[in-house]
Amino acid sequence: MSELSNLYIPTAAEAPSPEYQDQDDLRHRPLPGGKMRDSLFWEMIMPDEKLGFQAYLYLAGTGQAGFNFVVWGEDQEPYVLDLGHGEVADSMDFDNFYLSGLSLTQPDLRKTAVLKYESDNLKLEYNFTAIHDAFSYRQNPAGLPEWFALNRFEQTGHVTGFLEFGDRRIEWDRIGHRDHSWGTRKWGVPHHWKWLIAYTPDGRHIVNAWIYIAKGEMGVAGYVVKDGEVVPIATIQHHASYDDDMGQRQVEAAITDTRGGVTHLQMERFGLVRLPTNDKMDTMIMEAACTATIDGHAAAGQFETHWPKSYVNYLASLNKKS
């Protein structure tokens, strides 16, 4: 019997309005003369397989779209890094979306999604069923910074399906995570961020934490699943360690929620992938697949960092001299 057969279903705690509607899980249109961009993301970390998986899809108001599918593990290079781009019709939406081997349907908005992809390198089916209401970063005390998005929600869920690459096939019946943000992002504003997602195999314990430094100030957002409820984060104390080349190695965090509860998170990397964004600010995104514990309970997790690439290179050069 699957360990997910007794999946724990959390309820929502009181929080500020998320300021989204069901249709916000669909495509957003720009105002006349304006710009718009939707970004959708799905992930799953599999410590027992020593694998991390993520997929990212963007769609601009012009119809330009692109994606990446990444599978990585303990090796220095990812096992799969598939990139795609193209233009989609104005009539296409995220309840029935197709692009270069990728298909996405959402039978029940903000609750279920089916992502499929097939290429020469990779084949997968990611059937997502939410185990809690979508959480908007607008529900945090400091809200959502305008440079990041108009709105963004995060959601953890039960995933069935499979992942197939090379001579490996992994059947999925476990926990994964997704997010959806909309609005243009000003990549050059943040100096650094850490995005952390961790979940136990039964979905009973979940942490979604975002720590950022922008305009000389530090901010946090996210939630914890605590005592059966989704509770916004108020503050985070944390410490991370890095390799000489600034690849993230470990992180420990004491996360205080808006009810005064404290959740302790520990994450340790087993795989890392670097994903330059090729934006004007030469941003470097690094994704670490991790083993984790949440209040002592074994978990899986992803530890993402954002840096200006020139800054990472400078720190790495200093580390080589020391």
User: Can you tell me the distance from the alpha carbon of 205 to that of 226, in angstroms, rounded to the nearest whole number?
Assistant: 7
Half-sphere exposure (Cβ direction) of 233: Cα atoms closer than 13 Å: 26
User: Can you tell me the distance from the alpha carbon of 215 to that of 226, in angstroms, rounded to the nearest whole number?
Assistant: 32
pTM for the full predicted model: 0.95
Residue 110 pLDDT greater than 50, yes or no: yes
pLDDT digits (tens, 9 = 90+) for 213-260: 999 999 999 999 987 789 999 999 999 999 999 999 999 999 999 999
Q: Tokens at residue 13, please?
A: 């705690």
Q: How confident is residue 151, by pLDDT bands cut at 50, 70 and 90?
A: very high
C-beta of residue 282 within 8 angstroms of C-beta of residue 27: no
Determine phi and psi for 309, rounding to 5 degrees: -60, -35
pLDDT digits (tens, 9 = 90+) for 218-230: 999 999 998 778 9
Q: Tokens at residue 259, please?
A: 């009810």
pLDDT digits (tens, 9 = 90+) for 62-108: 999 999 999 999 999 999 999 999 999 999 999 999 999 999 999 99
Q: Tokens at residue 305, please?
A: 């960092």
Query: 19 to each of 133, 134, 137, 204, 212, how far by Cα in Å?
Result: 13, 11, 10, 26, 22
Residue 6 pLDDT greater than 80, yes or no: no
Mean pLDDT of 154-177: 98
pLDDT of residue 4: 61
Closest CA to 255 of 228, 237, 230: 237
Residue 79: DSSP 8-state: S
pLDDT of residue 109: 96
Q: How confident is residue 132, by pLDDT bands cut at 50, 70 and 90?
A: very high
**Per-residue H/E/C for 264-319:** EEEEEEEEEEEEECCCCCCEEEEEEEEEEEECCEEEEEEEEEEEEHHHHHHHHHHH
Q: What is the CA radius of gyration of the chain?
A: 19
pLDDT digits (tens, 9 = 90+) for 43-65: 999 999 999 999 999 999 999 99
Q: Tokens at residue 284, please?
A: 């470097």
Query: 263 to each of 146, 193, 202, 237, how far by Cα in Å?
Result: 28, 20, 17, 11
pLDDT of residue 1: 42
Domains and CATH numbers, the chain: 37-321 (2.40.370.10)
C-beta of residue 272 within 8 angstroms of C-beta of residue 248: yes
C-beta of residue 186 within 8 angstroms of C-beta of residue 31: no
Percentage of the chain beyond pLDDT 90 is 86
pLDDT digits (tens, 9 = 90+) for 260-299: 999 999 999 999 999 867 777 789 999 999 999 999 999 9
User: Can you tell me the distance from the alpha carbon of 295 to that of 154, in angstroms, rounded to the nearest whole number?
Assistant: 21
User: Can you tell me the distance from the alpha carbon of 205 to that of 304, in angstroms, rounded to the nearest whole number?
Assistant: 20
